[in-house]
Homo-oligomer: A and B are copies of this chain.
Amino acid sequence: MNPRFSHLSHLECPECHWTGDSAVLAGLCPVDGKPLLARYDLEALGAEVRREDIAARASTMWRYHELLPVQTPEAIVTLGEIVTPLLALPRLGTELGVPGLLLKDEGLVPTGSFKARGAATGISRAAELGVERIAMPTNGNAGAAWAQYAAKAGIEALITMPASAPDINRKEIAVAGARLFLVDGLISDAGKMIAEAVADGDWVDVATLKEPYRIEGKKTMGLEIVEQLGWTMPDVIVYPTGGGVGLIGIHKALLELRELGWVTGDLPRLVAVQSTGCAPVVKAFDAGARACEPWPDAQTIAFGITVPKPLGDFLVLDGLYDTGGIAVAVTDEELLEDLALCARLEGHFLSPEGAATLTAVRHLRADGWIAADERVVVLNTGSGLKYPETVAVDVPVLAPGTP
């Protein structure tokens, strides 16, 4: 028998443990309306593949195809999802008191943000299951990624977005030929419009966690980090958290790798970073709760993490509690200072969301939660190129010939 390309076995509700057929298009759990997770036959996978086999494969996120839901190589919809680098930040790390600081730079994937990973798996799987029209609300980068992958797949896309989202996201969505509607409100308002638009059944709702495969793509960040560290785990992983799917995906990846026996020991402590202008996860964590309350008047320059009430809140909080992690809120002023500091000391032009993780490390090191000798990975979830407003430039224009 040929080795299976994917070991996807079924879907499961992480809350009520309802299980369903993964070969059928699925949304939320039919019992309790919670997000469904993809499950794999890890025993069969472990018998067919060794972690050493991965090394010889092409350096894309699809090198982990057994742990991804797409059934055949031909079904992959790709814009070139290269493995992103894991880079030392020695000078900034020393400045922050954590010399072993590492940056996973998601600004280098197609569409300039980690959202491409989720869109690549989500669109590939949707196309494989015969979907022709998708609809979603977005804070910007996810909509841009899904619009571009949908174009590649020949799928129609309908996207709603807050009018206050970064300008570049409008351009990305429009140029890819998606139908775009702007709303004078937050992503929660954009989401309500989508819920109405999909009610007649013509469009499939692929909003965050409303379909089970976006998270599978984001999982590859966790797989890559572990492989890049020689199949070992770091001490701490710091993630900017809006909808939280990145953090949920990394947590899921680590659990699957440990179950496979490809990695052993304690999971890294996961840190969810939010803005003081929108910190529902931090508030819930501090209260020891397992669900968020909607955050009123959400606002931050780190626009990607302006999510007042994430649908997957309980999965994010479970990830923090299970790993001995923490949730931290930082101010816009602080994160902009660390964005500039990182560029000056290390040359990386981060997104404000990515820069927020540096500020979090600064605080957690200062109060002793992170030790000086720990191996800490921060995620830059997008390219600074998408956020020109984070940099103020005031230079004179000289006439030609000025000495």
Contact = CB atoms under 8 A, between A and B. Distances in A.
Interface string A72-104: 000000111011110100010000000000000
A105 interface: yes
A16 interface: no
A255 interface: no
A3 interface: no
A15 interface: no
A171 B156 CA distance: 35
Given A149-B347, A189-B400, A343-B177, A391 B182 contact: no
A195 B176 CA distance: 43
A284 B91 CA distance: 48
B385 A183 contact: no
Nearest to A154: B91
A345 B151 contact: yes
A394 to B, nearest CB: 9
A176 B344 contact: yes
A28 interface: no
A185 B400 contact: yes
Interface in A358-403: 383-386, 388, 390-391, 393, 395-403
A226 interface: no
B183 A397 contact: yes
Given A151-B346, A176-B343, A388 B82 contact: no
Given A112-B383, A153-B347, A174-B393, 9 more contacts: A80-B85, A108-B109, A111-B349, A148-B349, A171-B390, A172-B391, A176-B343, A184-B399, A185-B400
30 contacts: A59-B59, A79-B347, A80-B87, A80-B108, A82-B82, A82-B85, A91-B154, A107-B110, A108-B109, A112-B385, A148-B343, A148-B347, A151-B345, A152-B346, A152-B348, A163-B397, A170-B393, A171-B384, A172-B384, A172-B391, A175-B343, A175-B390, A177-B344, A180-B395, A182-B395, A184-B397, A185-B399, A189-B401, A193-B398, A385-B385
